[in-house]
Amino acid sequence: MSKPRIKLRTLTAEEEKEIRRLAKARTEPARKVQRAQLILAMLEEPRLEASKAGIQVGFGSNASGPMWVKRFNKAGLAGLGDKPRAGRPATHTETVRSQVLDLVLQKPRSLGLPFALWTVTRLQAEYEARYGLRLSAATLWRWVQAEGFNWRRQESWFHDPAQHDPEFVEKRGPSSGPT
């Protein structure tokens, strides 16, 4: 015998408006946005099972969707938030994280910077110059990767020995460095 299907309760107009806003938000906590996307998926497709809706929005298990729908049905929008957890509280606000991600999405040259690609060190220095707050490289790395971006290694033709010009040193001329 199968478990009874979890159904989404009827939402008020205000709840539906807030769910739609949250599902697209870039400055809200990512977990809360994902939970709002779950509710929105079930709202837009009433026949969709909570477990399948959960998988559709990125939850890792079939149990997550029904759990969040039950919490929403019981507590409304407040049920989408995290309960207090043990451990150290977050060091930085979502506003700080959002500012970093906004910076990452812009091309450095469009900001008047003399380079074309972001590195963790460049991002760290630019954020500190703009906002007066120094963030650790590990924090920046984690936030950027969690958003789905990948750091890429800057490549140069000069690193490939097969492409080296055997006459490079002669063509370059005198160098100030050691020979």
How do residues 73-130 score in pLDDT, each as one tens digit?
A: 999 999 999 888 888 888 899 899 999 999 999 999 999 999 888 889 999 999 999 9
Distance separating alpha carbons of residues 16 and 18, to the nearest angstrom: 5
The contacts of residue 21 (CB under 8 Å, 6+ apart) are: none
Which pLDDT tens digit goes with each residue over 18-34?
Answer: 999 999 998 888 999 99
Q: Are 141 and 127 in contact (CB under 8 A)?
A: no
